[in-house]
Structure 1
Amino acid sequence: MEATKQQHHPLFNNQKHVRLARADLHQGDCLAVIPSLDGFFDAVVTDPPYSSGGQSKGNRAASTGAKYLNTGSIQWPDFAGDSKDQRSYLHWSALWMALCYEKLNPGGLMVVFSDWRQLPVTSDALQAAGFTWRGVGVWDKAGSARPYKGGFKAQTEFFVWGSKGPLVGDTYSAGLFRVQQKPGEKLHQVGKPLDLMEPLVAACGQRILDPFMGSGTTGLAAIGQGKEFVGIEVSEHYYQVAVDRLRGN
């Protein structure tokens, strides 16, 4: 069963909600949408904007395509929320993580992607929001990593993870995932590979929340494993990409 409706409360600015068989998909700002969600979740698995593509104010304000993609390879629209400085990024991250904390079951997992620049800030925000910080996992991008002349290849991104109180699961999961990004499979400028998201989702419970779902890869992994998924995306373009992608699964 599928339903589409417009939210008319002023908090939502008339944005969209699509209900699929195993997924609820919301188009809007996660700070507005999360408090309205029904029920509780077993895990939050998400890849927020990093706001790390420039080391100066001017560079941070550049388009995300210019910051994160090689020249001539820009084929996806820019995404929002990627021009914050460190202080505002920390404050914003603590805000949305605290909202997620309130929506998690006891023992629920928080899994948040980051790069090397925002790794300390992300771990601070996780703890400020109330989570017990459990560690940092690694995504080894292998041959899809960006080289630096005279330096070291930018071969890794990370996920910071924690829990709402004591851990309750019975899975044993890896902390390092070697998955090469295949550009031809991407539907978002900085989308994560499905082969990466599947084992991460497998380590979580049955109901998954992604406040920054982008093109819906986390949802695809969750639905493929018979789990329930709730996703939020502020970009109308990427929201529709996710809806179309998950509608067929």
Structure 2
Amino acid sequence: MRKEIIGDCTLYLYDCHSMLADIPDNSAIVSDPPYGIAFQRGVGGQGKHSVRNRKAIVGDAHPFDPAIWLSFPEVVLWGANHYAQRLPHGRWLAWDKLAGVPEYDDFSDVEFAWIKGRGKDRIFSHLWKGICKASEKGGKERWHPTQKPVALMERCLKEVAGSPIVDPYMGSGTTGVACAKAGRQFIGIEIDEGYFNIACERIRKAYAQPDMFVERPAPPQQLSMLGAAE
């Protein structure tokens, strides 16, 4: 096991299933777990991703069983439509990845998160598909095949009030970045050392440059008397 403490974020390089008993009972689970994409797609689940790390995701070759996380008081799990039959009644957050842009590829235009408890289903619209992104446009290639935008995970944090926020399948650390920006306590667990190192780097940068994921406004343009920008 390797442990890193960065601000209010505590990160573990370890198998989350092996440290389940060490996760505080009052934790809010917010995660995008491996849910069998490779298993469902066949052919190794390999697709065209503009990511720096193309290796297989640990655990993604088998269907996901969410049972061990359902006892926590607050839970937000992405990709839940792929294992909905294993979930109790809850509510849904639908992420509209096109945000009004016409569909243009063969990949899904929407992703779904299951949220524990009763309430209204919600939609979050945020363009983030292929090279088209409404945020983090100045960043480098994506670090993880299933990486989510920080804006989406910030939206997820609004669904939970508990502390700490725990992401047992931390990946490249987007949930941790959102927590760092929001001043929320975070525990992240990742089994893959490469992704763990990326998460540590991104979270450090989030503390050092809290506005690094905020789009800078376009510089003002002077308008001519005819109304056209000069």
Q: Normalising by the residue count of structure 1, what TM-score does the alignment of the two structures yield?
A: 0.68
**Is the 2:51–2:143 contact (alpha carbons within 8 Å) kept by the matching residues of 1?**
no
Report the CA distance between 1:210 and its aligned residue.
Answer: 0.6
Aligned to 1:30: 16
- The CA RMSD measured in Å over matched residues stands at 2.7
Q: 1:93 aligns with which of 51, 66, 79?
A: 66
Q: 2: distance between equivalents of 1:228 and 1:93?
A: 23
Q: Give 3-state SS (helix, strand or coil) of 1:83's partner.
A: coil
Q: 1: distance between equivalents of 2:15 and 2:121?
A: 32
Aligned to 2:124: 177
Q: Normalising by the residue count of structure 2, what TM-score does the alignment of the two structures yield?
A: 0.73
Report the CA distance between 1:191 and its aligned residue.
Answer: 0.3
Aligned to 2:48: 69
Q: Count matched residues.
A: 193
Q: Give 3-state SS (helix, strand or coil) of 1:136's partner.
A: strand
1:41 aligns with 2:26: yes
1:83 aligns with 2:61: yes
Distance 1:222 1:230, change over 3 A: same
Report the CA distance between 1:110 and its aligned residue.
Answer: 0.7
Distance 1:154 1:34, change over 3 A: same
Distance 1:180 1:80, change over 3 A: same
Q: 1:154 aligns with which of 108, 117, 122?
A: 108
Amino-acid identity (%) = 27
Report the CA distance between 1:137 and its aligned residue.
Answer: 1.5
Amino acid at match of 2:155: P
More helix by share: 1
Q: Give 3-state SS (helix, strand or coil) of 2:37's partner.
A: coil
The higher radius of gyration belongs to 2
1:211 aligns with 2:172: no
Q: 1: distance between equivalents of 2:102 and 2:5?
A: 35
Q: Give 3-state SS (helix, strand or coil) of 2:87's partner.
A: helix
Amino acid at match of 2:96: D
Please list the CA deviations of residues 181-218 of structure 1 after superposition, one character each: whole Å capped at 9, or x if unmatched: 23846221110001111111123124211111111111
Distance 1:46 1:74, change over 3 A: closer
Aligned to 1:110: 75
Q: 2: distance between equivalents of 1:221 and 1:55?
A: 30
Q: 2: distance between equivalents of 1:124 and 1:197?
A: 24
Distance 1:202 1:74, change over 3 A: closer
Q: 1: distance between equivalents of 2:8 and 2:16?
A: 20
Report the CA distance between 1:17 and its aligned residue.
Answer: 1.2
